[in-house]
Amino acid sequence: MSVLALHGFAQTPGQWLRFFPDASCPWLGGHGADPVGPSGFEEEVERLATLALQLAPPRRLVGYSQGARLGLGVLIRTPELFERACLVGVNPGLESELERIQRRQWENGLAQKLQMEGVEAFLDEWENLPIFASQRAFPGASLEQREARRMHQPVPLARALVGLGLGGMPNYWPELRAVTVPIDLVVGDSDAKFGALAERAQSQFQHCEVHKIAAAGHNPLLEAPLAFTKLLNDLGYT
């Protein structure tokens, strides 16, 4: 079995390699010391689908946050590639143009800060967003995460924030019914917003289960790695 594992925004492939040492864990566009692209959301989906085609079947897909959203795009574009997918903290897209405009404005402002003040100052603001508040209970893991993030370059990462952000992502809600492979949606049990998104998405996918990780917020990979590992084992991903 081959696994394609897609990391989150401002994360690294190491986010997944601890769970899948033999997986294909590509850098997302704009990330890393020698970044690729990115151009736009759909172009990145196409690039990732091309990478997936090079993996031996049967294939499984796992993704976290931005990686989960891109992974969802790959599933919709090329549904025959994978036999199953695990999406952690996924948002299928914004449904109104007003929401997308407001999100793009926010992302553009953060991207400007990132380019002007650098990665360290940007991370000070990014990591203090309310969605990541639960991670403060794990100072050791959070410090390790910050250290890994320091390798990113300001300008390419800013382009990834905008080009691969929620504001530039298509609205995939109407497409979920067309996804025929089994989908596992994973959320931390204290992540109310994404828990609600997962439960709504479950009703749209043909075959889908929602799995809640106890004592975790938006990033159960960081906050509850043992429980997350057990879930992956129970579901047959490892």
Tell me what pLDDT residue 19 has: 96
Tell me what pLDDT residue 38 has: 72
Number of folded domains that form the chain: 1
Please say whether the beta carbons of 196 and 102 come within 8 A: no
pTM above 0.95, yes or no: yes
Per-residue confidence at 213, pLDDT binned at 50, 70, 90?
very high
CATH of the domain at 60: 3.40.50.1820
pLDDT digits (tens, 9 = 90+) for 7-47: 999 999 999 999 999 999 999 999 998 898 877 999 999 99
First to last CA, the chain: 9
DSSP per residue, 101-130: HHHHHHHHHHHHHHHHH-HHHHHHHHTTSG
Which domain does 206 fall in, by range? 2-235
What is d(CA 11, CA 141) in angstroms, rounded to the nearest whole number? 13
Tell me what pLDDT residue 102 has: 97
pLDDT digits (tens, 9 = 90+) for 95-107: 999 999 999 999 9
